[in-house]
Amino acid sequence: MNAVLRLETAGVLRARWFVVSLAVAAGLALFFVAVATRESAVLAFTGFGRVVTGTALAALLFVPLLAVFSTALAVPQARQQGVLEWYMSHPTRREGLFTGMYLPRLAAVVGPVLGMVGLVGLAAAALGNPLPWDLALRLLLLLLTQGFCFASLGMWISVAARTPESALLRGLLLWMATVALYDFALIGVLLRWKLTPEAVFALAAANPVQAGRLGVLAGADAELGLLGPVGTWIALELGPVGTLAYALAWPAVLGTSALLAARRRFVRRDLL
């Protein structure tokens, strides 16, 4: 497994998508730092609390996309290039091969997340602004959980897909469904039927990205006034701690389930 891990790590570091993801993460962080600096100068208050919230909400669009596409093409591309057959010709257990292909790609998702949060912290220190470390830690935990969830879902897609094109399409559909289409469908349901706050929360929070958004908003506004009656219900029933726990637990459970399903299929099915 160690040899596979080294080879896959070297391949990830050479990939253009990894460099692009680092650049996008740095760009997002610097953009929100610039916005906060302008707010502080014009409105005479420190804007880094807004930076953390804005960075988190923007990263909840970027991190799932990066995580899905970092793993979704792993197995189909390896099969198409003959690398997978070459791996299996060596005395390597399939469990170790799966781990060796998954971990470097997960680390490639974690790297931009850490860099994004680190840049915000460095900018705050350089500009003499106090960084709200509780919000920064919340941001880090939420984004790491989202990265694990979607990297695992992408690996499940990768093992199930037969061609890179199929894996790419499925990964794109997954990202679009969780980031945008699910919300549109939920709005349509709310326009058609009058649901209780409990039902709205259950439908919305079933989406891991929406669960992450709830965790971010609960850190910025404990009463969740932006969400109306649903936010009031969440604040009263779950509270900030319960909302954060759910925002971390549900994507983690979903990601673990997808990872175990992908590993089972990888080990037991014919991949060639």
pLDDT (0 to 100) of residue 42: 46
Per-residue pLDDT tens for 195-238? 777 777 777 778 899 888 888 877 766 666 566 666 666 766 77
- The pLDDT-based confidence of 150 (bands split at 50, 70, 90) is very high
Per-residue pLDDT tens for 12-62? 766 676 777 777 777 766 776 666 555 554 444 455 666 677 777 778 888
* pLDDT exceeds 70 at position 63: yes
Q: Write the DSSP assignment of 64-119 as a string of letters.
A: HHHHHHHHTTHHHHHHHHTHHHHHHTSS--HHHHHHHHHHHHHHHHHHHHHHHHHH
Per-residue pLDDT tens for 99-113? 888 998 898 888 888
Instruction: Tell me the whole-structure pTM to 2 decimals.
Output: 0.84
Share of residues in the chain with pLDDT > 70 (%): 76
89-98 long-range contacts, CB within 8 A, separation 24+: 90/3, 92/1, 92/3, 92/4, 93/1, 94/266, 94/267, 95/263, 95/267, 96/1, 96/4, 97/1, 97/4, 97/266, 98/262, 98/263, 98/266, 98/267
Q: Which of 4-18, 19-33, 123-137, 256-270 has the highest mean pLDDT?
A: 256-270
